[in-house]
Structure 1
Protein backbone atom coordinates (compact mmCIF):
# COMPACT_ATOMS: atom_id res chain seq x y z
CA UNK A 1 0.00 0.00 0.00
CA UNK A 2 1.09 3.57 -0.58
CA UNK A 3 0.61 6.85 1.28
CA UNK A 4 2.04 10.30 0.53
CA UNK A 5 2.25 13.22 2.94
CA UNK A 6 3.04 16.84 2.12
CA UNK A 7 5.51 18.83 4.24
CA UNK A 8 2.84 20.75 6.17
CA UNK A 9 0.95 17.54 6.99
CA UNK A 10 4.15 15.90 8.21
CA UNK A 11 4.75 18.80 10.62
CA UNK A 12 1.19 18.66 12.01
CA UNK A 13 1.19 14.85 12.27
CA UNK A 14 4.52 14.90 14.13
CA UNK A 15 2.98 17.40 16.57
CA UNK A 16 0.00 15.06 17.05
CA UNK A 17 2.37 12.14 17.73
CA UNK A 18 4.24 14.20 20.35
CA UNK A 19 1.16 14.59 22.58
CA UNK A 20 0.48 12.45 25.63
CA UNK A 21 -2.68 11.16 23.95
CA UNK A 22 -0.53 9.61 21.20
CA UNK A 23 1.72 7.57 23.49
CA UNK A 24 1.97 4.04 22.07
CA UNK A 25 -0.18 4.96 19.07
CA UNK A 26 0.33 5.71 15.41
CA UNK A 27 -1.38 7.80 12.76
CA UNK A 28 -4.21 5.94 11.02
CA UNK A 29 -5.98 7.03 7.87
CA UNK A 30 -9.43 5.48 7.93
CA UNK A 31 -12.48 5.64 5.73
CA UNK A 32 -15.03 7.86 7.44
CA UNK A 33 -17.74 6.82 4.99
CA UNK A 34 -18.22 5.77 1.38
CA UNK A 35 -20.29 7.88 -0.98
CA UNK A 36 -20.99 6.45 -4.40
CA UNK A 37 -17.67 5.79 -6.08
CA UNK A 38 -15.42 7.55 -3.59
CA UNK A 39 -14.45 7.57 0.07
CA UNK A 40 -14.23 10.28 2.69
CA UNK A 41 -11.23 9.91 4.98
CA UNK A 42 -10.30 10.79 8.54
CA UNK A 43 -7.11 10.77 10.61
CA UNK A 44 -7.09 9.16 14.05
CA UNK A 45 -4.53 7.97 16.58
CA UNK A 46 -4.67 4.19 16.89
CA UNK A 47 -2.76 0.96 17.41
CA UNK A 48 -2.10 -1.66 14.74
CA UNK A 49 -4.47 -4.58 14.23
CA UNK A 50 -3.99 -7.82 12.35
CA UNK A 51 -5.26 -6.40 9.04
CA UNK A 52 -3.14 -3.24 9.10
CA UNK A 53 -0.19 -2.46 6.92
CA UNK A 54 2.30 0.00 8.36
CA UNK A 55 3.33 2.30 5.53
CA UNK A 56 6.55 4.24 6.05
CA UNK A 57 6.22 7.55 4.20
CA UNK A 58 8.99 9.60 2.63
CA UNK A 59 8.47 12.16 5.43
CA UNK A 60 9.48 9.67 8.14
CA UNK A 61 5.99 9.07 9.50
CA UNK A 62 4.53 5.58 9.71
CA UNK A 63 0.84 5.39 8.81
CA UNK A 64 -1.59 2.57 9.55
CA UNK A 65 -3.77 1.50 6.62
CA UNK A 66 -6.29 -1.34 6.71
CA UNK A 67 -5.04 -3.67 3.98
CA UNK A 68 -8.62 -4.84 3.27
CA UNK A 69 -9.69 -1.37 2.09
CA UNK A 70 -8.68 -0.74 -1.52
CA UNK A 71 -9.63 2.95 -1.24
CA UNK A 72 -6.82 3.48 1.29
CA UNK A 73 -4.07 2.37 -1.09
CA UNK A 74 -2.59 5.54 -2.57
CA UNK A 75 -4.01 8.13 -0.17
CA UNK A 76 -2.41 11.55 -0.16
CA UNK A 77 -2.48 13.50 3.12
CA UNK A 78 -2.08 17.24 2.71
CA UNK A 79 -2.35 20.05 5.23
CA UNK A 80 -3.06 23.64 4.27
CA UNK A 81 -2.95 26.80 6.37
CA UNK A 82 -5.06 28.94 4.02
CA UNK A 83 -7.86 29.68 3.43
CA UNK A 84 -8.24 27.76 6.71
CA UNK A 85 -6.16 25.24 8.61
CA UNK A 86 -7.25 21.77 7.57
CA UNK A 87 -6.20 18.35 6.38
CA UNK A 88 -7.23 17.39 2.87
CA UNK A 89 -7.05 13.67 2.20
CA UNK A 90 -7.52 12.35 -1.31
CA UNK A 91 -6.82 9.21 -3.26
CA UNK A 92 -5.96 10.30 -6.80
CA UNK A 93 -5.91 6.69 -8.01
CA UNK A 94 -9.52 6.06 -6.91
CA UNK A 95 -11.47 9.29 -7.19
CA UNK A 96 -11.15 12.89 -8.36
CA UNK A 97 -13.18 14.09 -5.36
CA UNK A 98 -11.55 16.07 -2.55
CA UNK A 99 -12.48 15.65 1.12
CA UNK A 100 -11.65 18.26 3.72
CA UNK A 101 -11.02 16.97 7.22
Structure 2
Protein backbone atom coordinates (compact mmCIF):
# COMPACT_ATOMS: atom_id res chain seq x y z
CA UNK A 1 0.00 0.00 0.00
CA UNK A 2 1.09 3.55 -0.65
CA UNK A 3 0.52 6.85 1.13
CA UNK A 4 2.00 10.27 0.59
CA UNK A 5 1.83 13.55 2.45
CA UNK A 6 2.99 17.08 1.84
CA UNK A 7 5.67 18.70 3.99
CA UNK A 8 3.18 20.90 5.86
CA UNK A 9 1.19 17.80 6.88
CA UNK A 10 4.38 16.05 7.99
CA UNK A 11 5.40 19.01 10.14
CA UNK A 12 1.94 19.27 11.78
CA UNK A 13 1.72 15.51 12.40
CA UNK A 14 5.24 15.34 13.89
CA UNK A 15 4.27 18.14 16.28
CA UNK A 16 1.19 16.13 17.36
CA UNK A 17 3.38 13.07 17.99
CA UNK A 18 5.47 15.11 20.46
CA UNK A 19 2.47 15.59 22.79
CA UNK A 20 2.03 13.58 25.98
CA UNK A 21 0.18 10.29 25.66
CA UNK A 22 1.26 9.55 22.09
CA UNK A 23 4.09 7.13 22.93
CA UNK A 24 3.84 3.93 20.90
CA UNK A 25 1.03 5.27 18.72
CA UNK A 26 0.90 5.84 14.97
CA UNK A 27 -1.52 7.76 12.82
CA UNK A 28 -4.28 5.65 11.32
CA UNK A 29 -5.96 6.81 8.12
CA UNK A 30 -9.44 5.36 7.85
CA UNK A 31 -12.54 5.63 5.68
CA UNK A 32 -15.50 7.32 7.34
CA UNK A 33 -17.93 7.00 4.42
CA UNK A 34 -18.05 5.75 0.83
CA UNK A 35 -20.14 7.48 -1.85
CA UNK A 36 -20.18 5.62 -5.16
CA UNK A 37 -16.63 5.87 -6.50
CA UNK A 38 -15.01 7.89 -3.72
CA UNK A 39 -14.50 7.84 0.03
CA UNK A 40 -14.21 10.29 2.91
CA UNK A 41 -11.18 9.93 5.17
CA UNK A 42 -10.05 10.84 8.65
CA UNK A 43 -6.99 10.48 10.90
CA UNK A 44 -6.53 9.31 14.47
CA UNK A 45 -3.77 8.02 16.72
CA UNK A 46 -3.97 4.26 17.16
CA UNK A 47 -2.03 1.01 17.49
CA UNK A 48 -1.87 -1.55 14.65
CA UNK A 49 -3.83 -4.82 14.59
CA UNK A 50 -3.36 -8.00 12.55
CA UNK A 51 -5.52 -6.50 9.74
CA UNK A 52 -3.23 -3.51 9.32
CA UNK A 53 -0.20 -2.62 7.29
CA UNK A 54 2.33 -0.09 8.54
CA UNK A 55 3.22 2.19 5.64
CA UNK A 56 6.45 4.16 5.74
CA UNK A 57 6.66 7.57 4.08
CA UNK A 58 9.55 9.68 2.83
CA UNK A 59 8.77 12.18 5.63
CA UNK A 60 9.79 9.83 8.50
CA UNK A 61 6.22 9.21 9.67
CA UNK A 62 4.68 5.74 9.61
CA UNK A 63 0.94 5.26 9.12
CA UNK A 64 -1.50 2.45 9.87
CA UNK A 65 -3.72 1.37 6.97
CA UNK A 66 -6.29 -1.43 6.98
CA UNK A 67 -4.83 -3.75 4.34
CA UNK A 68 -8.34 -4.95 3.40
CA UNK A 69 -9.64 -1.47 2.47
CA UNK A 70 -8.94 -0.71 -1.20
CA UNK A 71 -9.81 2.99 -0.73
CA UNK A 72 -6.72 3.50 1.46
CA UNK A 73 -4.11 2.43 -1.09
CA UNK A 74 -2.75 5.64 -2.63
CA UNK A 75 -4.21 8.09 -0.12
CA UNK A 76 -2.71 11.60 -0.09
CA UNK A 77 -2.63 13.72 3.09
CA UNK A 78 -2.15 17.46 2.73
CA UNK A 79 -2.20 20.37 5.17
CA UNK A 80 -2.62 23.95 3.99
CA UNK A 81 -2.08 27.24 5.81
CA UNK A 82 -3.72 29.49 3.19
CA UNK A 83 -6.42 30.69 2.79
CA UNK A 84 -7.10 29.00 6.14
CA UNK A 85 -5.58 26.11 8.04
CA UNK A 86 -7.16 22.88 6.85
CA UNK A 87 -6.46 19.21 6.21
CA UNK A 88 -7.19 17.63 2.85
CA UNK A 89 -7.21 13.84 2.55
CA UNK A 90 -7.83 12.39 -0.90
CA UNK A 91 -7.16 9.33 -2.97
CA UNK A 92 -6.62 10.43 -6.59
CA UNK A 93 -6.77 6.81 -7.78
CA UNK A 94 -10.29 6.42 -6.27
CA UNK A 95 -12.28 9.26 -7.78
CA UNK A 96 -10.11 12.11 -6.53
CA UNK A 97 -12.86 13.44 -4.22
CA UNK A 98 -11.62 16.13 -1.83
CA UNK A 99 -12.40 15.85 1.86
CA UNK A 100 -11.67 18.93 3.93
CA UNK A 101 -11.22 18.84 7.71
State if a TM-score over 0.5 links the two structures: yes
Task: Give the alignment's TM-score, normalised by structure 1.
Answer: 0.96
Measure, in 2, the Cα distance between the counterparts of 1:89 and 1:60.
18
> What SS class does the counterpart of residue 13 from structure 2 fall into?
helix
Report the CA distance between 1:22 and its aligned residue.
Answer: 1.5
Q: Report the equivalent of 1:15.
A: 15
Q: Report the equivalent of 2:48.
A: 48
Q: What are the ranges of 5 or more consecutive residues in structure 2 without an aligned counterpart?
A: none
Q: Report the equivalent of 2:73.
A: 73
- Name the count of aligned residue pairs: 101
Report the CA distance between 1:34 and its aligned residue.
Answer: 1.1
Q: Report the equivalent of 1:58.
A: 58
Q: Report the equivalent of 1:89.
A: 89
Report the CA distance between 1:21 and its aligned residue.
Answer: 3.0
> What SS class does the counterpart of residue 54 from structure 2 fall into?
strand
Report the CA distance between 1:97 and its aligned residue.
Answer: 1.2
Task: Give the alignment's TM-score, normalised by structure 2.
Answer: 0.96
Q: What are the ranges of 5 or more consecutive residues in structure 1 without an aligned counterpart?
A: none
Mean CA deviation greater in 38-47 or 17-26: 17-26
Deviations 1:7-51 (CA, angstroms, capped at 9, x unpaired)? 000000101111113222101111111122110000100000111
List structure 1 runs of 4+ shifted beyond 6 angstroms: none
